[in-house]
């Protein structure tokens, strides 16, 4: 990530990682699909900006140098994966970086959808859309990818 640059915490939940990013030299904004989580985030961190958005359409173009997207992809239905990836890439500036982390379990947990996406297939999708995958790693049940948007 580029320190000091505009950074999106997509799927920010209650704002913990948004706060960490802001406290460590990033101009951080938090966005999440859950209004309840955002209300908690705004109470805990009133100095930060939070907004309600959800994939597949976040409606932002060429805005962020960095995007941190943790625990979101696993909740995206397969039918919305391609449009979600396109939205993520649109939100990045050319040469911007995306850190994508998601749980590799499937099924449902407490009624929430958990899709299983193989990291190689996710990487191939990003690369087919003109990005460069810089890292793929597994940490327990978490898949982690670092992706750079190419300036095409």
Cβ 28 vs Cβ 22: under 8 Å: yes
Cα 127 to Cα 11: distance, rounded to the nearest angstrom:
23
User: What does each C-alpha distance from 115 to 71, 103, 108 come to in angstroms?
Assistant: 11, 9, 8
Residue 55 per-residue DSSP state: T
Torsion, Cα 31 81 95 136, to 10 degrees, reads 100
**pTM more than 0.85:** yes
| Helical pair 119-128 and 81-91, crossing angle rounded to 10 deg | 60
pLDDT per residue of the chain (152 residues) written in tens, 0 to 9: 999 999 999 999 999 999 999 999 999 999 999 999 999 999 999 999 999 999 998 889 889 999 999 999 998 999 999 999 999 999 999 999 999 999 886 555 556 668 889 999 999 999 999 999 999 999 988 999 999 999 76
Position 107 scores a pLDDT of 53
Position 106 scores a pLDDT of 58
Residues paired with 99 in a beta bridge? 68, 146
């Amino acid at each position: 990530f580029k320190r000091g640059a505009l950074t999106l915490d997509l799927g920010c939940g209650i704002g913990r990682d948004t706060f960490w990013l802001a406290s460590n030299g990033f101009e951080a904004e938090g966005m999440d699909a859950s209004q309840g989580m955002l209300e908690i985030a705004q109470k805990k961190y009133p100095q930060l900006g939070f907004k309600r958005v959800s994939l597949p359409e976040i409606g932002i173009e060429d805005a962020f140098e960095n995007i941190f997207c943790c625990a979101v992809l696993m909740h995206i239905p397969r039918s919305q994966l391609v449009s979600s990836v396109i939205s993520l890439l649109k939100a990045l500036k050319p040469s911007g970086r995306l850190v994508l982390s998601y749980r590799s379990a499937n099924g449902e947990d407490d009624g929430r959808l958990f899709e299983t996406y193989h990291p190689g297939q996710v990487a191939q999708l990003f690369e087919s859309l003109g990005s460069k995958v810089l890292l793929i790693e597994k940490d327990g049940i978490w898949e982690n990818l670092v992706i750079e948007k190419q300036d095409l």
